[in-house]
Amino acid sequence: MSTSNDIREPDGRLAAVLLAVIAVVLTAVAAVFREPGQNEAKADLAKTRFDVPHQRQSNEFATSNACRSCHPAEYSSWHDSYHRTMTQIATPEAVAAPFEDVELQDGVLTCRLERRGNEFWATVFETNWKQKYLDAGISPESVIGTTMSPFLTRKVELTTGSHHMQVYWVSHRGQMLELPFYYHIDGHRWIPRDDSVLAPPGDHDSSVRSSEWRLDCIKCHSVGGRPGLSVRGDHLQSTVAEFGISCEACHGPATEHIRHHQNPVNRYRRHFNDSGDPTIVNPARLSHTRSTQVCGQCHISFNPRDNEDFLRNGLQYRAGDKLETTHDVQQFTDEDQKTGGYTTYWGDGTCCVGGDEYLGIAGTACHLRGEMSCLSCHSMHQSDPNDQLRRNMDGDQACLQCHTTFAEDIPGHTHHAAESSGSRCYNCHMPHTTYALFTAMRSHRVDSPDAGVSIRTGRPNACNLCHLDRTLEWTAIHLNRWFDTPVVEMNQDEKTIAASLLWLMRGNAIQRLIAAWHMGWEPAHQASGNSWQAPFLAQILEDPYSMVRYVAHQSLSKLPGLEGLKYDYIGPAETRRHVHQNVLKQWQQQSRGRHSAPEHLLLTTDGDPDRDEIERLLQQRDDTPMVISE
């Protein structure tokens, strides 16, 4: 006969086993889901080299990982964007360039690249190092492996960019410096740094393009970046909340928002209340000025207003703040005006740097007198990652959403056929007059074309960027007739030579680049034909600025008969001259004399390029040094 104890005993054991199983499962679950503790963070920090910036948990920033579970769609669209990958740790997933046994030379430096497992390494040395040691009476072999070794071998720590170009950062003597070669993703090739931007020839020492990631890039290419200047001011211990441009760059720190909304009652109260959430910034709910400044915190050239504070604590701008409080925005000055204003501004203060769109929009009437903001046309979410344009905002709708009356009679306003490219709002009011990333980009200073502005400021007008074969006088007369735009005084060249050729032959580097780019632009081919540009673009294959040559080659390749034209814009000068001559010969055989209005095109009556006139204009070329390191 069983006793009551006999019955309970097996149940007790069962309960103990069950409790043990539950405890093991709960411990495992807790281990999987818990956040890294402080001790672990300290251990990670101890392993981290202080000259390399690293991600560190912050009480203020929660990072994008915390946003994902509640905002999956927004997280996903941001994750697809190039903002996320603006700065990445150099992992095999992040690195776009080939590193396997690559050797690069730019005439001064040699860079040997290699991959070691999941790490990427670079060895940089002066190409003629042996001769330098011999000249100093030192045996080159004797210095290998010593402190006098010319070889600097460094691990690539970070990458910048993932769309058109990628830059690689290494630690050297307590600094985070870029490799002297960039990887051009579109062109699938390594390019010397100086040939990846718009820069004067042979300007290897330009400090403009030699950046220190922890002082320059950290401001915009990370969230919560702190250069971390030490108390004694002798070194940096840089940290970021997150590499790349993530949620909290535009929405502000989210720790409080997350803490508040971990309570489901608070979440559902918010779902049923459309009044906005005071715990987080939604740029779409800000005033158009503050909303634009959220983008403007980075899409602008600036210096920190309090540099000491920036060096120690990072920029204190948070989404929704007044930008001027923390940013000393680099504006066009009277001094620039006196000197021609050809650094990174046109003569009227319009910025010609792609990526610095804030100054453009901030100076636009639609923003100053209306409510246009970046979000009128762009969105980080539910948009094409290429331009981040909102749906349907790649056409006239962008302007017609406010300027509704023009929709009723577009040709009445544009004086072009409704379907022609001349009736597209963007083409006339936002022409491609800025440069960045190997191409011309649309200006974000929305205004109306004016030949007088082109003459006064050097900024090409939309009419002559499409009607490449017409003069400034022709444009002035038409604009005066249609819109009462004043006609200004012009010299003989401006009255008789196509404006595009004036910019291409005697303009400054940015004017030449923009004119060359438009000679490969399809709407311009429709308006002015495509049979006459080749000899002039061929001339630009010998331009002193490598980036201008690159753009000229791209445009040449879009002309009939020149598709697939072989040309290396950073190849030897002799080879470039050879290609120039070949293009000229080919054009003379195929297209000479076909154009119907050669009178403004520097062509002789036989249809040949007018060498005397071309030489005369080349002699007048504006060689003011220009650097646009975007």
Partner 1 sequence: MTTQNLPVTASVNSTAAQMTTLHLRVGWWSLLVFLSLGTVLELLHGFKAGWYLDVSNETRRLMFTLAHAHGTLLSLVHIAFAATIRLTANGSPGKRRIASRALCVSGVLIPAGFFLGGIQFYAGDPGIGILLLPAGAFLLFVSVFLIAMDQTRNHQSEQV
Contacts of 198 (CB under 8 A, 6+ apart): 435, 509, 510, 513, 545, 547, 548, 626, 627, 628, 629
Buried b (16+ CB within 10 A) or exposed e, 465-500: bbbbbbbbbbbbebbeeeeebeebebeebbeebbbb
Residue 30 or 73 with smaller CB distance to partner 1:
73
Residue in 70, 368, 407, 417 binding partner 1, rule: CB under 8 A: 70
- We find the least distance from the C-beta atom of residue 381 to partner 1, in angstroms, to be 10
**Is residue 5 close enough to count as binding partner 1 by CB under 8 A?**
no
Give how far the C-alpha of residue 409 lies from the chain's centroid of Cα atoms, to the nearest Å. Answer: 37
Residue 7 or 32 with smaller CB distance to partner 1:
7
Give just the sign of the alpha carbon dihedral 433, 434, 435, 436: negative
- We find the least distance from the C-beta atom of residue 320 to partner 1, in angstroms, to be 21
Residue 7 or 573 with smaller CB distance to partner 1:
7
Query: Amino acid identity of 321?
Result: D
Q: What is the CB neighbour count within 10 angstroms for residue 33? A: 7
Residue 33 or 135 with smaller CB distance to partner 1:
33
- Per DSSP, the residues of 414-434 read HSS-TTSGGG-HHHHHS-S-E
CA distances from 528 to 176, 500, 521, 597 (A): 49, 11, 11, 10
- We find the least distance from the C-beta atom of residue 382 to partner 1, in angstroms, to be 9
**Is residue 2 close enough to count as binding partner 1 by CB under 8 A?**
yes
Residue 172 or 267 with smaller CB distance to partner 1:
267
β-pair partners for 434: 441
Beta strands 239-240 and 54-55, pairing class: parallel
Residue 146 or 273 with smaller CB distance to partner 1:
273
The DSSP element (H or E) to which 141 belongs, if any, is helix 140-143
- We find the least distance from the C-beta atom of residue 77 to partner 1, in angstroms, to be 8
| Residues that contact partner 1, how many (by CB under 8 A) | 16
Return the residues of window 223-282 that contact partner 1 according to CB under 8 A: 264, 267-268, 271
Residue 279 or 337 with smaller CB distance to partner 1:
279
CA distance 121 to 400: 52
Termini Cα distance of the chain: 91
CA distance 36 to 381: 30
Residue in 54, 60, 71, 215 binding partner 1, rule: CB under 8 A: 71
- We find the least distance from the C-beta atom of residue 277 to partner 1, in angstroms, to be 12
Residue 391 or 585 with smaller CB distance to partner 1:
391
For residues 360 and 350, the answer to whether their CB atoms sit within 8 Å is yes
- We find the least distance from the C-beta atom of residue 285 to partner 1, in angstroms, to be 16
**Is residue 174 close enough to count as binding partner 1 by CB under 8 A?**
no
For residues 454 and 529, the answer to whether their CB atoms sit within 8 Å is no
Convert residues 77-106 into a mask of x (bound to partner 1 by CB under 8 A) and - (unbound).
Answer: x-----------------------------
For residues 504 and 516, the answer to whether their CB atoms sit within 8 Å is yes
Residue in 12, 72, 140, 174 binding partner 1, rule: CB under 8 A: 72
Look at residues 249, 178, 165, 161 and name the one whose alpha carbon lies nearest to residue 213. 178
Residue in 59, 69, 207, 491 binding partner 1, rule: CB under 8 A: 69
Contacts of 141 (CB under 8 A, 6+ apart): none
Residue 267 or 594 with smaller CB distance to partner 1:
267
- We find the least distance from the C-beta atom of residue 273 to partner 1, in angstroms, to be 11
- We find the least distance from the C-beta atom of residue 65 to partner 1, in angstroms, to be 13
Residue 2 or 492 with smaller CB distance to partner 1:
2
**Is residue 285 close enough to count as binding partner 1 by CB under 8 A?**
no
For residues 155 and 120, the answer to whether their CB atoms sit within 8 Å is yes
CA distances from 430 to 272, 309, 434, 441 (A): 41, 38, 10, 9
- We find the least distance from the C-beta atom of residue 327 to partner 1, in angstroms, to be 32
Convert residues 469-508 into a mask of x (bound to partner 1 by CB under 8 A) and - (unbound).
Answer: ----------------------------------------
Residue 100 or 274 with smaller CB distance to partner 1:
274
**Is residue 76 close enough to count as binding partner 1 by CB under 8 A?**
yes
For residues 152 and 124, the answer to whether their CB atoms sit within 8 Å is yes
Which residues are at the interface with partner 1 (CB under 8 A)? 2, 7, 11, 69-77, 264, 267-268, 271
